[in-house]
Amino acid sequence: MKFAGRLDLVPPYLFAELERKIEEKHRAGIDVISLGIGDPDLPPPPEVVEEMRRQVAEPANHRYPSNRGLEPFREAVAGFYRDRFNTEIDPDTEVIPVLGGKEGVAHIALACLEPGDVSLSPEPGYPPYTSGPLFAGADLHYLPLRAENDFMPALADIPTQVADRANLLFLNYPNNPTGAILADGFFERAIDFARRHSLIVVHDSSYSEIAFEGYRPPSFLETPGAKDVGVEIFSLSKGWNMTGWRVAWIAGNAEIVERYRQLKTNLDSGMFDALQLAAVAALTRARDFPQEMSQVYRRRRDLMIEALAATGLPAAPPKATPYIWAAIPEGYSSATFTELVLEEAAVVVSPGPSFGPSGEGYVRISLTVADDRLEEAARRIASSLRVAATA
Ligand SMILES: Cc1ncc(COP(=O)(O)O)c(C=O)c1O
């Protein structure tokens, strides 16, 4: 059999490899604690589940949806942006539902890039910032996110000939995997850069609702001029514990939204109407739910940071996201450290380089497991490090 060569352009999907390792341990009867994947352990808001139950019982909701999305869904998104970000979105032309943020990230590349174009993709970063452009036949230019730059891309370092060939710039704040938050004035600089080089900015806002100590992450669309150059991808997955539902949207520049709709009419048939109507409940009646979840993650963050510090692994507490980006101890690579905690502690963490080469020297710890399991994982990591130190 012959398959498309584009599938070989990207390494096996990070989490597929982690899942395989976890499965192996499970089969061997080992109690593995996975801090590898950002998949919330707690249930969605009850109002949303109840609304879904009601809407799924409506026969009219079971027909093909439209790719544009239902008016109540688009209105609810506009209302949410107005109240949360003080930003106006035209529900008729500036928003489209997508089947999870991942669909948006991967497919926006198909709508915006062609062979010969360049995608400016941050790394370490969410893997579809790489695979989406490669599948579209475009070239990649990685933007390294380094601690010394507060994990912001250095736009000024991009060679002019690369910037001129670029047609897409991915940004993501609060950031996965580093947990970094947006630096002051960065969106303004990105808009200016996009104007100078005629490129499209896609801001992935998947983590804007998980933030701590009063910090409220901004929307890209709040920045003057943002809608002239780009769009934002927003997902209910993390803030509302709805990863399995696949509910997200792309909002912003009307031309990009329309082009995306055109692409989608050829790829899928839109989001189940019942899901869209349940999402309305999330955005109206359960609007504050992510703040409750942020309290939970803040408690878990402190617990894990304290445990890591006690084992000589100081990590900065993130101001947002359910992730700790921990620098690994001297004498290890990200891979050998990940191997150590998997083999000695049966704890799964994500090695930094799985998010890109600049992730070397780090692991990502996800806080999406119950407190008692997280405490147990911290205890096990500490004892595996003690064992390794005395070995
Ligand atoms: C940065 C980032 N963007 C987008 C997503 C996609 O989330 P979903 O497809 O569940 O909306 C994730 C999920 O982990 C992510 O980390």
Kindly give the number of the ligand 1 atom that is closest to the alpha carbon of 103. Answer: 9
Q: What Rg, from alpha-carbon coordinates, does the chain have? A: 21
Determine the pLDDT at residue 310.
Answer: 85
Residue 13 has pLDDT above 70, yes or no: no
Determine the pLDDT at residue 391.
Answer: 66
pLDDT bucket at 112, cuts 50 / 70 / 90: very high
Determine the pLDDT at residue 15.
Answer: 63
Q: Which of 35, 108, 206 to mutate to test the pocket of ligand 1 (most atoms within 8 A of CB)?
A: 206
Kindly give the number of the ligand 1 atom that is closest to the alpha carbon of 104. Answer: 9
- Decide: 167 in ligand 1 pocket, CB within 6 A: no
**Residues ≥6 apart with Cβ < 8 Å to 248:** 97, 98, 99, 100, 101, 103, 104, 206, 233, 234, 235, 236, 237
On the question of a cis peptide bond just before residue 174, with omega within 30 degrees of 0, the verdict is: yes
Kindly give the number of the ligand 1 atom that is closest to the alpha carbon of 236. Answer: 11
Tokens found for residue 196: 């100078």
**Cβ atoms 138, 114 nearer than 8 A:** yes
**Cβ atoms 31, 59 nearer than 8 A:** no
Neighbours of 30 (CB within 10 A): 11
- Decide: 235 in ligand 1 pocket, CB within 6 A: yes
- Decide: 105 in ligand 1 pocket, CB within 6 A: yes
- Decide: 40 in ligand 1 pocket, CB within 6 A: no
Kindly give the number of the ligand 1 atom that is closest to the alpha carbon of 204. Answer: 3
Q: Whose CA is nearest to atom 3 of ligand 1?
A: 206
What percent of the chain clears pLDDT 70, i.e. is strictly above it?
97
Residue 108 has pLDDT above 70, yes or no: yes
pLDDT bucket at 375, cuts 50 / 70 / 90: very high
Determine the pLDDT at residue 313.
Answer: 82
Mean pLDDT, residues 60-65 taken together: 97
**Phi, psi at 96, each rounded to 5°:** -145, 135
The string of pLDDT tens digits covering residues 149-191 is: 999 999 999 999 999 999 999 999 999 999 999 999 999 999 9
The string of pLDDT tens digits covering residues 288-331 is: 999 999 999 999 999 999 988 888 788 899 999 999 999 998 89
- Decide: 368 in ligand 1 pocket, CB within 6 A: no
Determine the pLDDT at residue 18.
Answer: 67
- Decide: 127 in ligand 1 pocket, CB within 6 A: no
Determine the pLDDT at residue 314.
Answer: 81
359: amino acid identity, one letter: G
Residue 12 has pLDDT above 80, yes or no: no
- Decide: 321 in ligand 1 pocket, CB within 6 A: no
Q: Which of 126, 232, 243, 350 to mutate to test the pocket of ligand 1 (most atoms within 8 A of CB)?
A: 126
Could you tell me how many helices (H) and strands (E) the chain has, helices first? 13, 12
- Decide: 69 in ligand 1 pocket, CB within 6 A: no
Going 31 to 33 to 39 to 42, the CA torsion angle's sign is positive
Q: Tell me which residue of 203, 233, 237, 236 sits closest to 368, measured CA to CA.
A: 237
Determine the pLDDT at residue 357.
Answer: 93
Kindly give the number of the ligand 1 atom that is closest to the alpha carbon of 99. Answer: 9
Place of tokens 């688009």: 74
Residue 385 has pLDDT above 70, yes or no: yes
Rounded to the nearest angstrom, the distance between the alpha carbon of 236 and the centre of ligand 1 is 10
The string of pLDDT tens digits covering residues 203-255 is: 999 999 999 999 999 999 999 999 999 999 999 999 999 999 999 999 999 99
Looking at every residue in the chain, the average pLDDT score rounds to 94
- Decide: 173 in ligand 1 pocket, CB within 6 A: no
Q: Which of 171, 238, 323 to mutate to test the pocket of ligand 1 (most atoms within 8 A of CB)?
A: 238
Determine the pLDDT at residue 17.
Answer: 67
Neighbours of 103 (CB within 10 A): 21
- Decide: 100 in ligand 1 pocket, CB within 6 A: yes
Going 115 to 116 to 122 to 124, the CA torsion angle's sign is positive
Q: Which residue has the higher pLDDT, 119 or 343?
A: 119
User: Using CA atoms, how far apart are residues 219 and 330, in angstroms rounded to an integer?
Assistant: 38
Least confident of 51-60, 238-247, 341-350: 341-350
Rounded to the nearest angstrom, the distance between the alpha carbon of 334 and the centre of ligand 1 is 23
- Decide: 219 in ligand 1 pocket, CB within 6 A: no
Residue 77 has pLDDT above 80, yes or no: yes
362: amino acid identity, one letter: Y
- Decide: 121 in ligand 1 pocket, CB within 6 A: no
The string of pLDDT tens digits covering residues 121-139 is: 999 999 999 999 999 999 9
The string of pLDDT tens digits covering residues 14-51 is: 566 667 777 888 899 999 999 998 999 999 999 999 99
Q: Tell me which residue of 40, 22, 20 sits closest to 346, measured CA to CA.
A: 22
- Decide: 101 in ligand 1 pocket, CB within 6 A: yes
